[in-house]
A and B are shown apart, each in its own frame.
Chain A
Amino acid sequence: MSDSASTQTTPLWLIFREFLLIGAVSFGGGIVAYERILLVDKRKWLTPDDFMATLAISQTMPGLNSVNLALLAGDRLRGFFGACVACVGLILPGGLFVLIAGVAYSEGADHPMMNILLAGIAAGATGLLASITYTIGDQHFRHMRSLSMIVATFVLMSVLKLSLVTVLLIMAPIGLFLYRPRKEEISSK
């Protein structure tokens, strides 16, 4: 990692403003794509390779991928405070949005018109969640190893109704065993 003068002096307000912008315009998801445009193309804060490495860590660690990515990018630019302003910028607009929507919901949840509107919105959101799951799972549904992991996880969670901690304690060791680094793969790289 290069500590060139330009990365040392990236102002905190600029990091905040850029992530605030993403947080405000990213209606409908796809935030990681917005972040890639910002970090790699627009400001060149990360090289494409650095971006992929950072994204990989964001996906490996728990938490929302887009938030983790903002944290790690902010950290690389300006350390702890860079991470803070990037994260706050990203979640501030949407946070205010949901709070306002939530207050309106609390006030009007009993109104019949509100209820039938929400029934349609909930059906639409179900379609969205299903399509995201289908798209992300696409490759995994076609391989026996990952498909059996998916099915086992679903059965433990939704059919046997075990707690999430229990499901992870059962599935994570199995997954790590199935996907353990193999000697031949490492040496062939």
Chain B
Amino acid sequence: MSALLQLAMTFGMLSVLAVGGGTAVLPEMQTILAQRFNIDHTAFVHIYSLGQLAPGPNMLMVLVFGFQIAGLLGAGVVLLSFFLPSSMLCLAVGRLWNKIGERPWRRAVQSALEPIAIGLMCSGVYAVAKAAIVGPLSIALALVVFGLLLRTRINPVYLILGAGAVGALLMHLTGMQ
């Protein structure tokens, strides 16, 4: 019971702090999951990465953390606590907005949050990279995927699966990481 309550509090808080999209809370989520729920950084990155293969919003892998910590009930608690608070807030403010119309300070709030969200995303890249980059091979794979995504329009899912297959083959053959 206390694990479920703690899950609800944790993901409820992350929900309302998710400025500029869910990616901004990645570093905080990684830290909290390691400290309070014993999910180490490698497992965090594995589950995060698997989540990127799924269709739909890119943070649905939070359900897997709930599942690992407290089974299906845990996944349900995480689903509600991660999506309900921010959704209720957004609905309430959205309705208010339809009534009062655009105001200069809405633009100011968005402009102020954008660079903060990007800074947090940079922290997210750093946090994920620290756990995912374990040697020259993983650096090379990440850089190739990064470059291809910026230069081509290949669907990221194929590139991530490709990185998995190529990486597994090379690691198996060379023993490199």
Contact present for A119 and B134 (CB under 8 Å): yes
Q: How far is the CB of B48 from chain A (nearest CB, A)?
A: 7
Q: How far is the CA of A87 from the CA of B167 in the complex (A)?
A: 36
Residue B33, interface by CB 8 Å: no
Q: How far is the CB of A67 from chain B (nearest CB, A)?
A: 6
Interface residues of A in 149-188 (CB under 8 A from B): 149-154, 157-158, 161, 163-165, 167-168, 171-172, 175-176, 178-181, 185-186
Query: Which B residues are in CB contact (< 8 Å) with A135?
Result: 150
Residue A95, interface by CB 8 Å: yes
Which of the four size classes fits the interface of chain B?
35 or more
Q: How far is the CA of A178 from the CA of B115 in the complex (A)?
A: 11
Contact present for A120 and B165 (CB under 8 Å): yes
Contact present for A94 and B142 (CB under 8 Å): no
Interface size on A, residues (CB 8 A): 98
Contact present for B163 and A118 (CB under 8 Å): no
Q: How far is the CA of A41 from the CA of B48 in the complex (A)?
A: 33
Would you call the interface of chain B mostly helix, strand, loop, or mixed? helix
Given known pairs A68-B90, A175-B116, the reply for A185 and B145 (CB within 8 Å) is no
Contact present for B149 and A127 (CB under 8 Å): yes
Residue B73, interface by CB 8 Å: no
Q: How far is the CA of A137 from the CA of B120 in the complex (A)?
A: 11
In the complex, besides A119-B177, A164-B14, 15 extra interface pairs with C-beta distance below 8 angstroms are A62-B89, A71-B90, A72-B90, A95-B63, A99-B63, A101-B64, A102-B75, A120-B141, A125-B132, A140-B115, A150-B118, A158-B126, A158-B127, A163-B28, A175-B113
